[in-house]
A = this chain, B = another copy of it.
Amino acid sequence: MAKDKAPRRPRAESPKGFRDYFGAEVTERKAMLDAIAEVYHRYGFDPLETSAVETVGALGKFLPDIDRPNEGVFAWQEDAEGDKPGDWLALRYDLTAPLARVAAQYRNDIPSPYRRYAMGPVWRNEKPGPGRFRQFYQCDADTVGSGSVAADAEICAMLADTLEAVGIPRGDYIVRVNNRKVLNGVMEVAGVLDPTDPERFFAERGIVLRAIDKLDRLGTDGVRALLGEGRKDESGDFTKGAGLSPDQAEVVMGFMSAKRETGAATVARLHELAGGSAIGLEGVQELEMISELLAAQGYGPDRVEIDPSVVRGLGYYTGPVFEAELTFEILDEKGRKRQFGSVAGGGRYDDLVKRFTGQSVPATGVSIGVDRLLAALQAKGRAGDASAGPVVVTVMDRERMADYLAMAGDLRRAGIRAEVYLGNPKNFGNQLKYADKRGSPVAVIQGGDEAGRGTVVLKDLILGARIAEGASLEEWKARPAQQEVPRADLVAAVRAMLEQG
């Protein structure tokens, strides 16, 4: 073996699929989360913060089989204690699984119904792709322990209020509501659900649910094929269908296109389609009630509407299903106009706690895709400008560092963000380059001459940005690039420059 092998240096890289967030990326997201939390709080929801780590058993969906339970989650086994093998632990993959655990663990302590909100990162052990990361934020609000449709209506109203609070104006979004029970009714009418024998047609219903979920991707012809005999994709692979007759398939297809001009007309159409089934009728009535409760509070179809074409999550939820879509157009990476699309979704899932306690507990909730919503705000240019750089006090004379620190201190005490240049002060150009990199609006300069006169020079760095943005020559002339002011007027003069900017 080589004796003096140089130690290998580690790569300075974040792990594949993870990224770092700098400056305004952090503050803009925080501002959005704060605005959301404020609305949730006003609705009576309480914050809950669980740890990032859960036992794999509590997470549920991903049980350890032979080797390790790493399908979709980041998981590891704790060290054994004596004979007892260590627990498998994992990073949470959403905020709902920890809520289920908490609702079971503290069922005697939490209020019932329990309204809680949670915001924070979740982790997915998936192949990363462009714009797809393995850690991302979720922001959820759920009501556990209420079976009332008023709880569903409340979530819809809160979702609308939340979107407006973060800066999406009314008209630029729509909360769409559908109901899994109506689909069940439709399946009963279509003959693939037998209320007297719930196990019958189980496989067929699975194919129907998966087919519906692919509406966006396959279009109506593709879904129709999957409802019938099956579908051959472009590669020639064949996916077996649910085996519905054309008439049966038509009932299911009719459900997804049941939306009419008004909510009342849509309800009437759904009644036609699914009213013959008890569960279907229940679903239609729930949609009607949600609609009425919301209308009574002024949440009309300009904000919340019944839309049976909402199919995402119908396989997962057990009652009402919600989706919030942004309706304005943005330009995609190829410059084509497209609608921004979905930023939040949720619904009712009544078996949340059952796996832990055996008892069914009704629950309903919504999850906001924080990063997508933030991207939408940025696309509309509505994200807050939380990124203003600090005033930079430059260092002309290393011996007078205390004076420069005092200037920054005075500015800060007046609430102005400020800092002293702390790199090597020899090259003054580097100091101005630094100020530029920091997005600094003003540089403060005091050499020996100014110190002797008791003054400071303020260099306007906003102006440079303005000129780059195309300020007129007049504006440029009317605005001195720099000015010398008495040291005692430092704070007032800087404030005036910031206000002008």
Greatest chain B CB density within 10 A among A51, A70, A74, A112 is at A51
- Whether A143 pairs with B422 at a CB distance below 8 angstroms is yes
Q: Is A481 an interface residue when CB atoms closer than 8 A count as contact?
A: no
Q: Is A41 an interface residue when CB atoms closer than 8 A count as contact?
A: yes
**Which one, A151-159, A176-184, A451-459, is touching chain B?**
A151-159
Q: Is A23 an interface residue when CB atoms closer than 8 A count as contact?
A: yes
- Whether B113 pairs with A51 at a CB distance below 8 angstroms is no
- Whether A43 pairs with B402 at a CB distance below 8 angstroms is no
Q: In the complex the two chains form, what is the Cα distance from A151 to B392 in whole Å?
A: 14
Main secondary structure of the interface of A (DSSP, over half): mixed
Residue ID in chain B nearest A25 by CB atoms: B49
Size of the A side of the interface (Cβ < 8 Å), in residues, is 97
Q: Is A47 an interface residue when CB atoms closer than 8 A count as contact?
A: yes
Checking B18, B42, B53 against A15 with a beta-carbon cut-off of 8 angstroms, the contacting residue is B53
Residue ID in chain B nearest A416 by CB atoms: B42
Q: Which residues of B contact A402 (CB under 8 A)?
A: 292-293, 296-297
Q: Which residues of B contact A54 (CB under 8 A)?
A: 14-15
- Whether A356 pairs with B422 at a CB distance below 8 angstroms is no
Q: In the complex the two chains form, what is the Cα distance from A414 to B487 in whole Å?
A: 46
Greatest chain B CB density within 10 A among A113, A416, A418 is at A113
Q: Which residues of B contact A405 (CB under 8 A)?
A: 150, 153-154, 157, 293, 296-297
- Whether A14 pairs with B105 at a CB distance below 8 angstroms is yes
Q: Is A19 an interface residue when CB atoms closer than 8 A count as contact?
A: yes
Q: In the complex the two chains form, what is the Cα distance from A66 to B59 in whole Å?
A: 30
Q: Is A331 an interface residue when CB atoms closer than 8 A count as contact?
A: no
Q: Which residues of B contact A112 (CB under 8 A)?
A: 423, 434
- Whether A417 pairs with B42 at a CB distance below 8 angstroms is yes
- Whether A123 pairs with B53 at a CB distance below 8 angstroms is yes
- Whether A297 pairs with B406 at a CB distance below 8 angstroms is yes
Q: In the complex the two chains form, what is the Cα distance from A409 to B421 in whole Å?
A: 51
Checking B44, B47, B91 against A417 with a beta-carbon cut-off of 8 angstroms, the contacting residue is B44
Closest-CB distance, A140 to chain B (whole angstroms):
14
Q: In the complex the two chains form, what is the Cα distance from A52 to B143 in whole Å?
A: 29
Interface flags, A353-394, vs B, CB<8A=1, else 0: 001111000000000000000000000000000000010100
Residue ID in chain B nearest A75 by CB atoms: B76
Q: Which residues of B contact A102 (CB under 8 A)?
A: 20
- Whether A22 pairs with B41 at a CB distance below 8 angstroms is no
- Whether B297 pairs with A60 at a CB distance below 8 angstroms is no
Q: Is A323 an interface residue when CB atoms closer than 8 A count as contact?
A: no
Q: Which residues of B contact A9 (CB under 8 A)?
A: 355-358
Closest-CB distance, A243 to chain B (whole angstroms):
30
Query: Given A22-B48, A434-B112, do A57 and B89 touch, yes or no (CB 8 Å)?
Result: no
Interface set, chain A 400-418, CB cutoff 8 A to B: 401-403, 405-406, 408-409, 412, 415-418
Closest-CB distance, A90 to chain B (whole angstroms):
9
Q: Is A238 an interface residue when CB atoms closer than 8 A count as contact?
A: no
Q: List 25 A-B contacts (CB under 8 A).
A: A9-B355, A9-B356, A10-B57, A11-B356, A12-B357, A14-B54, A15-B54, A18-B53, A19-B51, A20-B102, A20-B106, A22-B46, A25-B49, A42-B416, A44-B408, A51-B121, A52-B52, A52-B121, A52-B123, A70-B76, A74-B76, A113-B422, A148-B401, A157-B409, A296-B402
Pairs A-B, 5 closest by C-beta atoms? A44-B419, A12-B104, A296-B402, A76-B76, A146-B422
> Chain A: residues with CB nearer than 8 A to chain B?
9-16, 18-23, 25-27, 30, 41-44, 46-55, 57-58, 60, 70, 74-76, 79, 87, 89, 91, 101-102, 104-106, 110-113, 115, 121, 123, 134-135, 143, 145-146, 148, 150-151, 153-154, 157, 292-293, 296-298, 355-358, 390, 392, 401-403, 405-406, 408-409, 412, 415-423, 434, 437-438
